[in-house]
Chains A and B, each alone.
Chain A
């Protein structure tokens, strides 16, 4: 659905993405892993069209609507319901859709609460609902549970599974290997802006092909 061809992004002399060629195909979630600074966030933002490439290309089915949830989503200074409403397209049955989405992310009854007064986990779920309000074919999630407790993390993962089951292509980044194992259909290992390995999850975790993947999974620092 999205194909990176030699995509390169640089900020000054630092290369953040280095000739990345990878394809995200329809199906179960794709999980980006790799140490901090590997280029996961930039890759997601580039796929979303928020980052200009220095060279290469990213192609996307024009009909595929994309949405993203940032690692620290910004809630508008309005109620939870109004945050979802903001992302809805014109002319939808708004009240009903808002209720559906709040239900989906487990925030039923929170609609009137000021979004910024919600807890971190609740805000993360509301951000998910807001992204889903755009009815995306592809959903990017940047470290969706980076600073959440296990219960909130589980809630998020359940939503991701439900969304994926509905046919939405999910691409998420994480540095939590457990999460990658629990969710991934395929795994992309990034290091220093390069794709080191891209394989189906079962294969990647059972028999990684590269030295870096082995070391990363063994808990070593990749420098």
Chain B
């Protein structure tokens, strides 16, 4: 992606560099959302259904972490994964895996906090019915997550939006290495610093279009699901 090319030209000519960057962006952000969902959804549901001392404090912290600055998350993961850090021997710094980890840290609080709210609201509605049906704690969590699945799509999309839009964390832990850890957002930052503003804004438009497309897909899936499952 060098020379005097516009973003539109890159799309029209099927520039392989551009596609690799788009693919990596999606791979990293979607993987992070998947990991964050695996952690955040059960965690949020668990907090929604259990009562223990300090629960309120955890909810406040979780809500606050939704606004965790990406660069701070990135720095924390950087120090963790650096060769001089505790997990340095894994050799993950400056790899896509490190980027997925950093974005997972960013996205998990969003998904957990929104899941907690959604599941707690649903719990008020379902509580008696599930108690009457003698459903155990794990069964309750599973039932509530499954029955909240359409609302939880929104939580996942919020998480994806954050992951796809951020540059601070993946820049620090990924290093923006050409052909390896360069994504849409780090490319935009790089092209901006090179002064190629038209290419930067073009890439930005492509990024926005992709995010809109994914949201449209998820929304359509949600609507279809709701129609069939009420």
A interface residues (Cβ-Cβ under 8 A, vs B): 45, 48, 50, 67-68, 70, 73-79, 86-87, 114-117, 130, 134
User: How many residues on B have C-beta within 8 angstroms of the other chain's C-beta atoms?
Assistant: 17
Task: Report which residue of B125, B128, B150, B230 has the largest number of chain A beta carbons within 10 angstroms of its beta carbon.
Answer: B230
Closest residue of chain A to B227 (Cβ to Cβ) is A114
In the complex, chain B residues whose CB is within 8 Å of the CB of A79:
229-230
In the complex, chain A residues whose CB is within 8 Å of the CB of B129:
70, 73-74
In the complex, chain B residues whose CB is within 8 Å of the CB of A74:
125-126, 128-129
In the complex, chain B residues whose CB is within 8 Å of the CB of A48:
132
Q: How far is the CA of A87 from the CA of B227 in the complex (A)?
A: 23
Given contacts A77-B147, A87-B133, A134-B133, contact A117 B230 (CB under 8 A): yes
Q: How far is the CA of A68 from the CA of B143 in the complex (A)?
A: 19
Q: How far is the CA of A76 from the CA of B128 in the complex (A)?
A: 13
A86 engages B128 (CB within 8 Å) = no
Task: Report which residue of B126, B129, B134, B229 has the largest number of chain A beta carbons within 10 angstroms of its beta carbon.
Answer: B129
Q: How far is the CA of A117 from the CA of B147 in the complex (A)?
A: 15
Question: Given B125, B134, B229, which contacts A114 in the complex, CB threshold below 8 Å?
Answer: B229
Given contacts A77-B229, A77-B230, A117-B230, contact A50 B133 (CB under 8 A): no
Given contacts A48-B132, A68-B132, A74-B125, contact A114 B228 (CB under 8 A): yes
Question: Given A45, A67, A73, A76, which contacts B143 in the complex, CB threshold below 8 Å?
Answer: A76
Interface residues of B in 214-230 (CB under 8 A from A): 227-230
Q: How far is the CA of A148 from the CA of B3 in the complex (A)?
A: 74
Q: How far is the CA of A117 from the CA of B226 in the complex (A)?
A: 10
Name the 10 nearest CB pairs between A and B, nearest first. A114-B230, A116-B230, A77-B147, A74-B129, A68-B132, A117-B230, A114-B229, A87-B133, A76-B147, A50-B131
In the complex, chain A residues whose CB is within 8 Å of the CB of B149:
77
In the complex, chain A residues whose CB is within 8 Å of the CB of B133:
86-87, 130, 134
A111 to chain B, nearest CB (A): 13
A10 to chain B, nearest CB (A): 19
